[in-house]
């Protein structure tokens, strides 16, 4: 049994997964590093794609996120559920086991719980979160990651202490999704809260995220899953229309030296009068980052470029020792990014502001939550 627990932790340690819709999986696959990377598939065809990819490339890590969190809110009575062709189904322990077995039968490298969305803790006693962890701890299996799709407010104040406490009691590695109406890291105290969480919980994966994956891994997170498209870079509150897709995305690229995603149209504005920056990744081969149009082929090429650049950055992280060396490396990346922003503004004579999230990451890190610290109820009454 203990071997199994170590097995899944070792499988996930320092791993950078790319979260991608079923229809884009095959196009992303060639750019995923087999040894240090992998994929998390979403969408109705995720099980089929997972089986195909794992049959053809048994060495590639692939898992799936069934996205129950985009469709239903968790309750203490029904923390897990699934949309089926017969409608919504809440899952008891037996059915939950069947769903996890089903993922493994489709050759997923590990199973992921279909957890429903965990809203902000209004009552202050973390009832729903506790129900998720308690039920997951009844699973007698060592191949499963417990998904925690949480409101960003779990990263703030006393809720963070509850979150740390619950993740520490979990028998399985945990994958955290942060939900907000827009980038959750723009909310006050969330970047600090996430760092504190990562430093306090060594079996934490950051899931459905962006470059926060690197800040998290620099601060002790086990691994991360970065979204290939904008909608897969943070959690969304459940809505009936979620998952239907449809909206055509505008073209976005990762600009590694700036540590940020940018619309190609923005880059074209910035580089209207000077030579545009080029990229040496396997997709760009020295071409300009401003070249991408809104055509389907270019949207795909931009995605492949972004995946290449994520792994180039991850190679650097992966070559550092966890702890101070890795934190120093990340601090240097942020300092370089600040310098590139400054230079770019000077060269292009345009306003290039340094994003708030990057500013927050340049600040000193909070200490981990001590093992003994117990969250208190969020009231202001005197000592009892
Ligand atoms: Zn490139």
Are residues 145 and 266 both part of a single domain?
A: no
Report yes or no on 276 lying in a domain: yes
Are residues 202 and 350 both part of a single domain?
A: no
Give the per-residue pLDDT at 4: 43
Confidence of residue 265 (pLDDT cuts 50, 70, 90): very high
Report yes or no on 237 lying in a domain: no
Are residues 64 and 200 both part of a single domain?
A: yes
Are residues 207 and 59 both part of a single domain?
A: yes
CA 122 to ligand 1 center in whole angstroms: 45
Mean pLDDT over 45-63 rounds to: 97
pLDDT at 249 over 60: yes
CA 123 to ligand 1 center in whole angstroms: 48
pLDDT at 384 over 60: no
Residue 154 sits in a domain of what CATH number?
Answer: 3.20.20
CA 347 to ligand 1 center in whole angstroms: 22
CA distance 255 to 216: 19
Are residues 228 and 306 both part of a single domain?
A: no
The total number of structural domains that make up the chain: 2
Are residues 222 and 256 both part of a single domain?
A: no
CA 60 to ligand 1 center in whole angstroms: 23
CA 29 to ligand 1 center in whole angstroms: 16
CA 10 to ligand 1 center in whole angstroms: 30
Mean pLDDT over 60-86 rounds to: 96
Confidence of residue 373 (pLDDT cuts 50, 70, 90): low
Give the per-residue pLDDT at 377: 56
pLDDT tens across 95-117, in order?
Answer: 999 999 999 999 999 999 999 99
CA 245 to ligand 1 center in whole angstroms: 26
Report yes or no on 302 lying in a domain: yes
Owning domain of residue 343 = 252-361
How many helices, marked H, and strands, marked E, lie in the chain? 12, 12
- At residue 204, the 3 state secondary structure works out as strand
Are residues 48 and 167 both part of a single domain?
A: yes
CA 317 to ligand 1 center in whole angstroms: 19
Domain boundary among 204, 232, 260: 232
Confidence of residue 2 (pLDDT cuts 50, 70, 90): very low
- At residue 17, the 3 state secondary structure works out as strand
CA 115 to ligand 1 center in whole angstroms: 35
Q: How many CB atoms lie within 10 A of CB 42?
A: 25
Report yes or no on 149 lying in a domain: yes
CA 297 to ligand 1 center in whole angstroms: 14
CA 279 to ligand 1 center in whole angstroms: 5
Give the per-residue pLDDT at 241: 66
CA 260 to ligand 1 center in whole angstroms: 14
Report yes or no on 319 lying in a domain: yes
Report yes or no on 71 lying in a domain: yes
pLDDT tens across 178-234, in order?
Answer: 999 999 999 999 999 999 999 999 999 999 999 999 999 999 999 999 999 988 999
Domain boundary among 202, 232, 262: 232
Confidence of residue 383 (pLDDT cuts 50, 70, 90): very low
CA 256 to ligand 1 center in whole angstroms: 9
Are residues 189 and 55 both part of a single domain?
A: yes
Phi/psi at 4 (nearest 5 deg)?
A: -60, -45
Decide which of 250 and 14 is more confident.
14
CA 352 to ligand 1 center in whole angstroms: 21
Give the per-residue pLDDT at 242: 58
Are residues 174 and 261 both part of a single domain?
A: no
Mean pLDDT in the chain?
93
Are residues 107 and 44 both part of a single domain?
A: yes
As to burial, measured by CB atoms within 10 angstroms (0-12 exposed, 13-18 middle, 19+ buried), residue 241 is exposed
Give the per-residue pLDDT at 250: 83
CA 290 to ligand 1 center in whole angstroms: 11
Start-end of H helices in the chain: 2-12, 25-28, 46-56, 93-105, 127-137, 157-169, 190-200, 212-218, 264-270, 296-318, 324-348, 356-361
CA 269 to ligand 1 center in whole angstroms: 19
Are residues 188 and 67 both part of a single domain?
A: yes
pLDDT tens across 341-351, in order?
Answer: 999 999 998 88
pLDDT tens across 191-207, in order?
Answer: 999 999 999 999 999 99
Q: Among 2-11, 74-83, 225-234, 324-333, which is the least confidently predicted range? A: 2-11
pLDDT tens across 273-288, in order?
Answer: 999 999 999 999 999 9
CA 25 to ligand 1 center in whole angstroms: 19
pLDDT at 334 over 60: yes
Report yes or no on 384 lying in a domain: no
Task: Please state at what angle helix 157-169 crosses helix 127-137, rounded to 10 degrees.
Answer: 10
CA 306 to ligand 1 center in whole angstroms: 7
CA 238 to ligand 1 center in whole angstroms: 34
CA 255 to ligand 1 center in whole angstroms: 9
CA 307 to ligand 1 center in whole angstroms: 9
CA 308 to ligand 1 center in whole angstroms: 7
CA 222 to ligand 1 center in whole angstroms: 27
What's the start-to-end Cα distance of the chain, in Å?
A: 42
| Separation of CA 206 from chain center | 4
Are residues 146 and 187 both part of a single domain?
A: yes
pLDDT at 154 over 80: yes
CA 337 to ligand 1 center in whole angstroms: 17
Q: Across the chain, which distance is largest between two alpha carbons, in Å?
A: 67
Q: Among 238-247, 283-292, 296-305, 331-340, which is the least confidently predicted range? A: 238-247
DSSP codes, 56-93: H-TTS-EEE---GGGT-B--SS--BEEEETTEEEE--H
Report yes or no on 308 lying in a domain: yes
Q: Are 150 and 163 in contact (CB under 8 A)?
A: yes
Mean pLDDT over 292-321 rounds to: 97
């Amino acid at each position: 049994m203990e071997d199994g627990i170590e097995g899944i932790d070792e499988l996930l340690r320092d791993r950078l997964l790319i979260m991608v819709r079923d229809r884009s999986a095959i196009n992303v696959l060639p750019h995923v590093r087999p040894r240090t990377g992998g994929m998390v598939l979403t969408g109705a065809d995720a099980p089929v794609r997972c089986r195909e990819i794992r049959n053809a490339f048994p060495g590639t890590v692939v898992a799936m996120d069934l996205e129950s969190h985009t469709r239903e809110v968790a309750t203490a009575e029904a923390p897990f559920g699934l949309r089926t062709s017969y409608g919504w189904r809440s899952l008891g322990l037996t059915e939950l086991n069947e769903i996890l077995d089903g993922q493994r039968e489709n050759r997923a490298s590990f199973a992921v719980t279909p957890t429903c969305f965990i809203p902000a803790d209004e009552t202050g006693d973390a009832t729903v979160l506790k129900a998720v962890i308690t039920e997951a701890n009844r699973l007698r299996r060592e191949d499963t990651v417990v998904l925690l799709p949480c409101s960003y407010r779990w990263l703030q104040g006393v809720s963070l202490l509850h979150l740390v406490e619950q993740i520490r009691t979990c028998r399985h590695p945990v994958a955290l999704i942060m939900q907000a109406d827009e980038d959750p890291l723009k909310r006050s105290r969330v970047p600090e809260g996430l760092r504190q969480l990562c430093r306090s919980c060594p079996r934490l994966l950051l899931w459905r995220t962006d470059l926060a994956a690197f800040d998290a891994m620099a601060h002790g997170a086990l691994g991360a899953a970065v979204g290939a498209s904008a909608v897969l870079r943070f959690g969304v509150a459940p809505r009936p229309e979620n998952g239907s897709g449809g909206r055509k995305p505008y073209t976005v690229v990762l600009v590694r030296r700036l540590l940020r995603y940018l619309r190609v149209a923005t880059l074209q504005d910035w580089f209207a009068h000077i030579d545009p920056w080029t990229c040496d990744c396997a997709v760009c081969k020295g071409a300009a980052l401003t070249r991408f149009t809104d055509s389907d082929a270019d949207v795909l090429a931009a995605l492949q470029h972004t995946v290449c650049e994520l792994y180039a950055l991850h190679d650097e992280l992966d070559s550092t020792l966890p702890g101070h060396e890795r934190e120093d490396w990340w601090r240097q990346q942020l300092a370089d990014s600040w310098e590139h922003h400054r230079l770019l503004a000077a060269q292009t004579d345009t306003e290039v502001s340094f994003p708030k999230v990057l500013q927050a990451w340049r600040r000193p890190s909070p200490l981990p939550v001590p093992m003994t610290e117990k969250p208190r109820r969020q009231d202001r009454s005197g000592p009892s």
